[in-house]
């Protein structure tokens, strides 16, 4: 585990009670000025006041008691390294209430954090800027001096002085609007007082927007703000939000405490969205839906993101983690609950069937690394925080909550949630507070069972063997930590593992449930014949891998062929086997043989995992002579279902069938299937002529397919479409397709294009990552990054986008030489906040190299035999 950097949190001797803040932004010069009055509570005698401030000029700092008696501030010290302002006092301040007043100035930056600018074109083509805030995790201090820690809560009165033709939004509704006396072109917008809240949830937005609105059934005014001219694209997100708020109120048994909920689509945004209380900001592609041009997958994603951010209004905003160590209390819960609400609103999405591939599997993959981290990870310096906004905090957090929800049952889970939220509302919590509430509600030892899952890194593999005794089967179970490199855990880490077992007689209802507490256990299954199968972890609810002895696995593979094993268990079997292959506990040939059993598969979620497995193998075999053989294998495996589905949607077709068609066509294009590419080129030609638009569900596939030939003309055609597109989703589709072109010179142009003014900073990472996803582009992208390190560091330093970029550029290499090269580069070019990511990537590279060395030759023989 990485050492925690030395860092002191703010002293608790002085805390804010209430802020009155006025901000006056200049959206032409991109600067702002402001002043604030902070009501302070002094808890013990102090001779200095310490708060957070970064990149702000502070002036006229004054301190007075309730009677107006001033205390002289003898010195203002700006501690840039620790992001603090220290006001040294001429005399000792005694406990009591005081008022701190000061003025400040700052720059509206273009770094997608703090108070930043977002460029757009007005209706007459003029280049203009919006002002947006993004304060999580520690950037409120860039916008106004404050106690910028989640546990230091206060109320806020915020006033914005803005151009009179601009929309001004904040956490709370407007209470007054008056002319600004010094300038008739400005107006003063005062907002209502907030509830007590953390600084990272404060938000304000100034710009030009349209909106649509609806009042939820429980009386909350919900508005969806969009760029001018796009308000109809906000209706789907509005619909979801207006339905989600009353659903959460009913499910949690706690009202949404604010009078309004604004959702705002902004052009430049680093993450997907941010849960600011009452004013949630979104990347356009995470909120806007165009009926003609938005894909089925993207519409589903918008529902998920809206559900996630509104869950935070309770988990995170009403009840907040005490420190970033407990970030998962926000993100893990919101990621679990988003599926609850989307399943309620859109049962046709069958979202829980997608949870395993989208949430559990990525978490298991990352958490099998030795350079993973516990869900509760010690955090010191702010630059360590961005790295834990990852698959552990979000996805492992959600997965263990799903496991817990299943263990205690929905009724007790809901009672526990209500207890937790009502007991701690407007306060801050530790993980133990959550366990206490759920234990109280369920009368089960939740804390005892779950503490190991949050405080320990990793997860177990449950090894299963069995012997038959008449109509009974005696199972021998053992657990040990699963490590991706196949080594034994030196610490002999153990978990209390909620176990369920299903059998062929009752595939969807567990016939046995218990908690595995030690290293080994023996279990008896009754009424099961020797030829019948049993399956550990039905529905893949438990956060662990399963390794069966060969004879037991044979029964389960037969159940795949006969389609008697439920879909989630089919994909779980495949998922576990591929993990065991990577760890060297099974052979890749064994996994390829299992893949062939899925040729007649008809479920999207299972195919999604099959395609992920093939994609991983494709990355690896790109370093061998067997890559084309794998493509041939993939075309044969996917070909039957692809042809069965075809290109045309059917009337009243299921949601997951639409997703499956897009998935298979996209993968077949990457396998260079001649029929798919020919049809894609035919459709693309009609599309660019304006004769027949490619449906949104296939557009990404078509764009990637037509670039496989390396054609300069088609590349130019796509760039033209990119430049003409007004829908950000369309720009995203094209940007992520450009890296698939099989032309080294054009790939170099794509990398330069990614860093140009034509691509927003938030999207640069994804364009470069698309180049790095192919064998041809991988070294090109990595070398481009190294050659332009100063530029990348300047643009993305301190932003989690850099973490994403480092991961995508490095983790798919497969040689010891590359691992050493990556290590050495980042030793010489240190970038705070990427240390853990670099270690994880280097570990992944060495895992890939070991996998290739172990299995490449046998895989080549197997694929050769299948091609004959």
Instruction: State the Cα–Cα distance between residues 317 and 248, nearest whole angstrom.
Output: 14
| CA-closest candidate to residue 39, choices 18, 56, 54, 25 | 18
Establish whether 692 is a catalytic residue.
no
Compute, in degrees rounded to 10, the torsion defined by CA atoms 334, 337, 338, 340: 180
Which pair of structure tokens corresponds to residue 625?
């002579």
| CA-closest candidate to residue 316, choices 450, 390, 425, 171 | 425
Cβ-based neighbours of 765, under 8 Å, separated by 6 or more: 796, 801, 802, 804, 805, 808
Peptide bond connecting 137 to the previous residue in cis, omega within 30 degrees of 0: yes
Which pair of structure tokens corresponds to residue 543?
């956060």
Place of tokens 């509704």: 173
Q: Which listed residue (36, 83, 284, 309) is catalytic?
A: 309
Instruction: State the Cα–Cα distance between residues 714 and 292, nearest whole angstrom.
Output: 23
| CA-closest candidate to residue 15, choices 33, 51, 40 | 40
Question: How do beta strands 260-266 and 279-283 pair?
Answer: parallel
Return the DSSP state at 473.
E
312 carries a ligand binding annotation: yes
331 carries a ligand binding annotation: yes
CA angle 409, 411, 412 (to 5 degrees): 70
Which pair of structure tokens corresponds to residue 460?
């177990």
Is 638 in contact with 631 (CB distance < 8 Å)? no
Which pair of structure tokens corresponds to residue 868?
């004959």
Return the DSSP state at 196.
S
Question: How do beta strands 221-227 and 209-215 pair?
Answer: antiparallel
Query: What is the maximal distance between C-alpha atoms in the chain?
Result: 93
Question: How do beta strands 260-266 and 209-215 pair?
Answer: unpaired
CA angle 825, 827, 828 (to 5 degrees): 65
Cβ-based neighbours of 124, under 8 Å, separated by 6 or more: none
Q: Which residues are part of a known binding site for Zn(2+)?
A: 308, 312, 331
Active site residues: 309
Q: Which residues are part of a known binding site?
A: 308, 312, 331
């Amino acid at each position: 585990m990485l050492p925690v950097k030395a860092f002191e949190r703010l002293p608790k001797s002085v805390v804010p009670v209430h802020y009155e803040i006025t901000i006056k932004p200049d959206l032409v010069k991109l600067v702002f000025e402001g002043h604030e009055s902070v009501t302070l509570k002094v808890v013990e005698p102090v001779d200095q006041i310490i708060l957070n401030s970064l990149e702000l000029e502070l002036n006229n700092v004054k301190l007075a008691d309730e009677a107006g008696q001033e205390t002289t501030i003898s010195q203002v010290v700006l501690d840039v390294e620790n992001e603090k302002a220290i006001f040294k006092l001429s005399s000792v301040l005694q406990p009591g209430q005081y008022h701190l007043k000061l003025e400040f100035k700052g720059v509206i930056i273009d770094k997608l954090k703090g108070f930043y600018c977002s460029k757009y074109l007005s209706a007459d083509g003029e280049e203009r800027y919006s002002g947006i805030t993004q304060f999580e995790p520690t950037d409120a201090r860039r916008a106004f001096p404050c106690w910028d820690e989640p546990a230091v809560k206060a109320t806020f009165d915020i006033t914005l002085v803005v151009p009179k033709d601009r929309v001004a939004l904040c956490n709370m509704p407007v209470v007054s609007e008056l002319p600004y006396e010094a300038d008739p072109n400005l107006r003063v917008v005062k907002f209502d007082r907030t509830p007590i809240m953390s600084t990272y949830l404060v938000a304000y937005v100034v710009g030009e927007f349209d909106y649509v609105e609806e009042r939820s059934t429980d009386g909350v005014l919900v508005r969806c703000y969009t760029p001018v001219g796009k308000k109809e694209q906000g209706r789907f997100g509005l619909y979801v939000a207006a339905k989600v708020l009353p659903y959460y109120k009913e499910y949690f048994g706690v009202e949404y405490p604010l009078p309004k909920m604004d959702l705002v689509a902004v052009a430049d945004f680093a993450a997907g969205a941010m849960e600011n209380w009452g004013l949630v900001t979104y990347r356009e592609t995470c909120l806007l839906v165009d009926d003609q041009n938005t894909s089925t997958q993207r519409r589903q994603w918008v529902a998920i993101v809206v559900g996630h951010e509104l869950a935070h209004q309770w988990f995170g905003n009403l009840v907040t983690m005490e420190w970033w160590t407990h970030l998962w209390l926000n993100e893990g819960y919101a990621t679990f609950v988003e599926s609850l609400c989307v399943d309620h609103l859109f049962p046709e999405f069958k979202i829980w069937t997608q949870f395993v591939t989208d949430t559990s599997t990525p978490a298991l993959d990352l958490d099998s690394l030795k350079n993973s981290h516990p869900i509760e990870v010690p955090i010191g310096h702010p630059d360590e925080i961005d790295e834990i906004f990852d698959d552990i905090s979000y996805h492992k957090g959600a997965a263990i909550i799903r496991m817990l929800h299943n263990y205690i049952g929905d009724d007790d889970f809901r009672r526990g949630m209500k207890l937790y939220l009502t007991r701690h509302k407007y306060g801050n919590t530790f993980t133990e507070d959550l366990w206490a509430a759920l234990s109280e509600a369920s009368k089960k030892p939740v804390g005892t069972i779950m503490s190991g899952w949050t405080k320990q890194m990793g997860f177990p593999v449950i090894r299963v063997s069995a012997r038959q005794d008449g109509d009974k089967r005696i199972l021998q179970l053992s657990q040990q930590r699963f490590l991706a490199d196949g080594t034994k855990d030196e610490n002999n880490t153990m978990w209390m593992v909620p176990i369920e077992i299903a059998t062929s007689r009752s595939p969807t209802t567990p016939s046995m449930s218990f908690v595995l507490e030690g290293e080994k256990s023996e279990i008896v299954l009754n009424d099961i014949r020797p030829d019948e199968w049993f399956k550990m972890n039905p529905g893949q609810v438990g956060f662990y891998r399963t390794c069966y002895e060969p004879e037991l696995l044979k029964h389960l593979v037969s159940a795949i062929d006969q389609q008697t094993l439920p879909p989630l268990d089919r994909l779980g079997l495949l998922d576990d086997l591929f993990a065991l292959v990577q760890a060297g506990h099974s052979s890749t040939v064994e996994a390829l043989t299992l893949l062939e059993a899925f040729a007649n598969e008809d479920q999207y979620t299972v195919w999604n995992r099959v395609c992920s497995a093939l994609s991983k193998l494709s990355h690896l075999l790109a370093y061998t002579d067997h890559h084309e053989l794998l493509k041939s294998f993939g075309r044969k495996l996917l070909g039957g279902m692809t042809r069965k589905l075809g290109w045309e949607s059917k009337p009243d077709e299921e949601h997951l069938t639409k997703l499956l068609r897009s998935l298979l066509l996209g993968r077949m294009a990457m396998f260079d299937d001649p029929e798919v590419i020919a049809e894609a080129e035919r459709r693309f030609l009609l599309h660019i002529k304006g004769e027949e638009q490619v449906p949104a569900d296939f557009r990404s596939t078509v764009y990637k397919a037509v670039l496989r030939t390396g054609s300069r003309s088609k590349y130019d055609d796509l760039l033209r479409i990119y430049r003409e597109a007004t829908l950000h989703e369309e720009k995203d589709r094209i940007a992520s397709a450009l890296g698939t072109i099989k032309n080294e010179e054009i790939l170099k142009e794509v990398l330069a294009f990614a860093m140009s003014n034509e691509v927003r900073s938030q999207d640069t990472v994804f364009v470069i990552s698309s180049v790095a996803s192919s064998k041809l582009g991988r070294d090109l992208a990595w070398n481009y990054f190294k050659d332009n390190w100063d530029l990348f560091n300047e643009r993305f330093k301190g932003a989690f986008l850099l973490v994403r970029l480092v991961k995508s550029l490095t983790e798919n290499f497969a040689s010891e030489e590359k691992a050493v090269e990556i290590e050495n580069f980042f030793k010489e070019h240190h970038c705070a906040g990427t240390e853990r990511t670099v270690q994880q990537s280097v570990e992944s590279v060495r895992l890939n190299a070991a996998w290739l060395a172990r299995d490449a030759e046998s895989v080549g023989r197997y694929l050769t035999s299948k091609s004959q």
